[in-house]
Amino acid sequence: MKILIVDDEQLARDRLSRMIGSLAEHEVVGEAANGIEAVKVASTMQPEVVLMDIRMPGMDGLEAARHFADLDEPPAVIFCTAYEEHAVEAFDLQAVGYLLKPVRRENLETALGKAQRINKAQLAALADEQPPRRTHISARTRRGIELIPVEDVRYFQADQKYVTVRHREGEVIIDETLKELEEEFGDRFVRVHRNALVAPRYIIGLNRLPDGQYQIRLKDIEETVDISRRHVAAVRKVVKNL
């Protein structure tokens, strides 16, 4: 099987790579030092299994596993953790499996023998165990999987069944609902319209049009976002407190 190793410690990656090299029918096709790198490498190398640490800087293993769901063929995930049973209770072991560090060769071989690609039920179980908020939004584009830091998002805008994510460098389209995004990031974005959520930290002012309609001006981007009449009072309150 094609295996991706993800760990923020080079020594840990080297050790796993050596053990896998001694096992028949398995090969290491890539390495990554954090969750962000893992998603990017997985989108190009298409591993069948990912051996991944849980606690890593930038993006941890749990969130990275969630983003794997956007791949055409999500890999099976085996978490490697230095923490005891109380720590691994944070996710459904039946869905992903785990190995305690330091990983032993015989345990690794057994885990790889049982590994299968994650099915929809397993992905659902994993999603239920995720931290309440992501640090990044993932989108499938012509370049593969793009990861957009939530802190860089200016606004989310719904258009029928898709949502546009406008960020500092441009925009991407995601297959999520505005309601789901509001539930997850409601303390970092404000509802300004039935079809739009805006990040208050990037609001630089309001425009009032001749017909009484208000629009929001945002830092670093030219386009404005309409405010519906029912949300004007709440938005003006937010702007006043900035």
2-6 and 27-32 beta bridge pairing? parallel
Closest to 45 (Cα-Cα) out of 142, 145, 126, 112: 145
Fill in the DSSP letter of residue 74: P
What mean pLDDT is predicted for residues 24-38? Answer: 95
Q: pLDDT, tens digit, for every residue of 48-89?
A: 999 999 889 989 888 898 898 888 888 988 988 887 553 454
pLDDT the model gives residue 19? 95
Residue 235, CA distances (Å) to 177, 181, 242 in order: 21, 18, 11
- Chain-wide mean pLDDT for the chain? 87
Q: Tell me: the pLDDT tens digits for 147-184?
A: 999 999 999 999 988 999 999 899 999 999 999 999 99
Q: What is the CATH number of domain 151-240?
A: 2.40.50.1020
- Two tokens, residue 115: 């590994």
Residue the block writes with tokens 């546009």: 164
Give the per-residue pLDDT at 123.
Answer: 56
pLDDT of residue 55: 87
Close Cβ partners of 26 (under 8 Å, ≥ 6 residues apart): 1, 3, 20, 112
What integer pLDDT is reported at residue 128 of this predicted model?
55
Residue reference for tokens 């670093």: 220
CATH number of 2-128: 3.40.50.2300
Query: Is this model's pTM higher than 0.95 or not?
Result: no
| Residue 122 tokens, joined | 């397993």
Indicate whether 231 pLDDT > 90: yes
pLDDT digits (tens, 9 = 90+) for 85-136: 534 544 544 445 788 889 999 999 988 888 765 555 555 555 555 555 799 9
Residue intervals of the chain classified under CATH 2.40.50.1020 are 151-240
pLDDT for 25 beyond 50: yes
